């Protein structure tokens, strides 16, 4: 169970537009079209909350949802989408890096990766950046409905062996596989923040 029910708070083009940096936040990151918004909706059990699309590049802002006072989820724009202008790409590369490094209330990153593709170069950069600043990362290997369970588990084990410091799990926004496990991870991060006090 998540701590509270989600409500849209703000869509930020720039980091200054984000809510005050206090309490706890969990961000959903990943390649464009990997299924970030779909995962967020499944985890929140709210189909229309974050906008999803067949077209990559749908989410172009940091979209913030409040779960309870001081507990937030953030849907991030995806990386690796070729048709975003160079200027936008630079803007976002910089902004996402600054957010991941500097946001004090950020308790952890849920990285969404298509299980059939594994971790791409953008994902690996994100994992390395998070490791360098001590941010925990938990990967949802999504679209697991597209692979048999056996092949899914094999992919999960291979990635787990390659990245021992990162958590991996099978996930599908379509069938509900792994939704409860992801909720438990997020809730634990958010509650950890509350125990420590705001902004710690």
Listed in sequence order, the residues at least 6 apart from 86 whose beta carbon sits closer than 8 Å to its beta carbon are none
Q: How many residues of this chain bind Mg ion (CB under 5 A)?
A: 4
The site partner of 71 among Mg ion, ligand GTP, none (C-beta below 5 to 8 Å per kind) is none
Q: For residues 110 and 190, which CB has a smaller minimum distance to ligand GTP in the complex?
A: 110
CB of 18 to Mg ion, least distance (A): 17
Q: Which residues pair with 91 in a beta bridge?
A: none
> Minimum distance from CB of 39 to Mg ion (Å)?
9
Which of ligand GTP, Mg ion, none is residue 32 near (CB under 5 to 8 Å by kind)?
ligand GTP
Label residues 118-146 b or e (16+ Cβ within 10 Å = b): ebbebbeebbebbeeeebbbbbbbbbbbe
The partner in contact with residue 143, picked from Mg ion, ligand GTP, none with C-beta cut-offs of 5 to 8 angstroms by kind, is: ligand GTP
Told to check if 59 binds Mg ion by CB under 5 A, we report yes
**Pick 105 or 172: Cβ nearer ligand GTP:** 172
Q: Which is nearer to ligand GTP, 28 or 189 (CB)?
A: 28
Query: Which spans of this chain sit near ligand GTP (rule: CB under 6 A)?
Result: 30, 32-38, 52-54, 56-59, 78, 142-143, 145-146, 172-174
Which of the stretches 2-10, 30-38, 83-91, 104-112 binds Mg ion when contact is defined by CB under 5 A?
30-38
Work out how close the CB of 15 gets to ligand GTP at its nearest, in angstroms, rounded to a whole number.
Answer: 18
The answer to whether 58 touches 50, Cβ cutoff 8 Å, is no
Looking at the Cβ atoms of 97 and 199, the one nearer to ligand GTP is: 97
The answer to the question of residue 37 lying near Mg ion (CB under 5 A) is yes
What, of Mg ion, ligand GTP, none, does residue 54 touch, CB below 5 to 8 Å by kind?
A: ligand GTP
Each as own residue / partner, the long-range contacts of residues 38-43 (CB below 8 Å, 24 or more positions apart, any chain) are 38/142, 38/173, 38/174, 39/110, 39/112, 39/140, 39/142, 39/171, 39/173, 39/182, 40/65, 40/73, 40/75, 41/173, 42/173, 42/176, 42/179, 43/2, 43/73, 43/179, 43/182, 43/183, 43/186
- The conformational region for residue 6 under phi > 0 = left, psi -120 to 50 = alpha, else beta, is beta
What whole-number distance in Å separates Cα of residue 174 and Cα of residue 153? Answer: 18
Interaction site with Mg ion (CB under 5 A): 36-37, 58-59
């Amino acid at each position: 169970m998540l701590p509270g029910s989600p409500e849209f708070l703000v869509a930020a083009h720039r980091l200054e537009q984000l809510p005050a940096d206090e309490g706890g936040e969990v961000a959903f990151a990943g390649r464009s079209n990997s299924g970030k918004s779909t995962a967020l909706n499944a985890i929140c059990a709210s189909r229309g909350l974050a906008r999803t699309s067949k077209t990559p590049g749908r989410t172009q802002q940091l979209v913030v949802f409040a779960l309870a006072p001081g507990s937030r989820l953030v849907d991030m724009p995806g990386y690796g989408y070729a048709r975003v202008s160079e200027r936008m790409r630079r803007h976002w590369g910089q902004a996402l890096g600054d957010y991941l490094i500097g946001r004090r209330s950020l308790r952890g990153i849920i990285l969404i990766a298509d299980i059939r593709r594994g971790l791409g170069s953008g994902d690996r950069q994100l994992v390395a950046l998070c490791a360098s600043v001590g941010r925990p990362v938990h990967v949802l290997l999504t679209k697991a409905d597209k692979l048999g369970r056996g092949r899914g588990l094999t992919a999960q084990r291979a990635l787990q062996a390659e990245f021992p410091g990162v958590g991996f799990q099978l996930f599908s926004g379509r069938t509900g596989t792994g939704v409860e496990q992801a909720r438990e991870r997020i809730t634990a991060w958010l509650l950890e923040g509350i125990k420590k006090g705001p902004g710690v």
